[in-house]
Amino acid sequence: MESLAPPETFAPALLTAASVTPDAARVAAFRAAAPDVVCFCHLTWEFVWQRPQHLLSRFAESSRVFFVEDPCWHHDAADAEQTTPHLEIKTKENYLRVVVAHLPATLQADPAHAEAVQEELLTDYLQREKVVDFVAWYYTPMAVGKSHAIQRRAAVTVYDCMDELSAFAFAPPLLKERESKLLNFADLVFTGGQSIYEAKAHRHAAIYPFPSSIDKAHFGTARTGLPDPADQAKIPYPRIGFFGVLDERFDRELVAALAKRRPDWQFVLIGPVVKIDPADLPTGPNVHYPGGKTYRELPAYVGNWDVAALFFAQNESTRFISPTKTPEYLAAGIPTVSTPIRDVVRPYGELELVQIAETPAEMERAIEAALTQATDANWRARADAFLATTSWELTWERMVTLVEEVRIRA
């Protein structure tokens, strides 16, 4: 279903995620109808467990989900010559299917042809799977090039704009153009935070902010005294921890300065290193890199920290982010500090749930203050009261309420 007017003509509405009331009848109707969901994502399912995984795994409880990743390119000359374009299908929990196109790297010289090959492979596969009544769900506008014919058959098209991808390192030059096309034909647009909603609200008639949410039960286990993981157990206290992707958004200079200012503090930095040279990461006897951890493992690490941190740099790539780790840290019951990321300042900083600081000296003082919060029953009660208003299940139900309203009109 294509929009009837250019997105630029729409006036923004002042909304928050709470503006959308979940409708139990609509949610039940969607579950009963169980339309398939075909998702196009720039992230791999196995990378880190975040927004796409939280939402799509919930869809998979009642619907068939096809999670289409970016292609796997075969660069080895001998391998590429022998590689016939094909799809690899990996089945996950609740039979969610991860779909990966394998292509010879020689096709990269002709991007339009490569996209046409992918679309043909996907079309044939979805036809074999009898995918007829379905929701097209986009995380990356770049997928428009390999899915337009598929999308035109969708009952509903959703663009879940979790990040401003055009601001990230190595963003494809076509991304902004592709996003304009996606905004033109999407029935619904969701955003990953309030800031990015405010930046894009004028570009679509049906756009709604859905900031990062929380699986409280999962991270709440961090409060139960989980054993310290072996690769963290020998690190002295106090521990200041961070988990997430270590990329251009990570403030390496800030952490390096803090580690030098406070050699008595231990900095535990968990996550994969992406798009930056690992040699550029801060080092020292009090800086530790346990590597990437699974979603299941995270509570045991966080639960044995003294302070949790959001060490995000102030640059274009962080301008619109709404870090999922903010509520996750709080659900774990760990005092938290952050650089002044707008969607952390609003609401967490304004509610004095998170200490906000920018310079190394300010961050040092913020961490010192956070170290005293572990025994502050009032802070914890206020944080828990705030977290009680949100969950990934509630976010999913709000989204499905909107999807079902469009689907029944289609």
The secondary structure of 199-267 as a DSSP string is HHGGG-SSEEE------HHHHHGGGG-PPPPHHHHTS-SSEEEEES-BSTTB-HHHHHHHHHH-TTSEE
Distance (Å, whole) CA 33 – CA 156: 14
For the stretch 152-195, pLDDT in tens is: 999 999 999 998 888 787 788 889 999 999 999 999 999 999 99
Task: Determine which helix (DSSP H) or strand (DSSP E) holds 190, and give its type and residue range.
Answer: strand 188-191
Q: Which two tokens stand for residue 331?
A: 């659900």
Q: What pLDDT score does 167 carry?
A: 79
Distance (Å, whole) CA 149 – CA 146: 8
Q: What pLDDT score does 79 carry?
A: 61
Q: CA torsion sign, 29 to 398 to 176 to 5? A: positive
Q: What pLDDT score does 8 carry?
A: 45
Q: What pLDDT score does 24 carry?
A: 96
SS3 91: strand
For the stretch 61-81, pLDDT in tens is: 999 999 999 999 998 766 655
Cβ atoms of 247 and 316 within 8 Å: the answer is no
Q: What pLDDT score does 170 carry?
A: 77
Contacts of 157 (CB under 8 A, 6+ apart): 1, 135, 136, 138, 151, 185, 186, 187, 188
Task: Determine which helix (DSSP H) or strand (DSSP E) holds 87, and give its type and residue range.
Answer: strand 86-91
Show the low-confidence residues of the chain (pLDDT under 50).
Answer: 1-12
Number of H helices, E strands in the chain: 16, 15
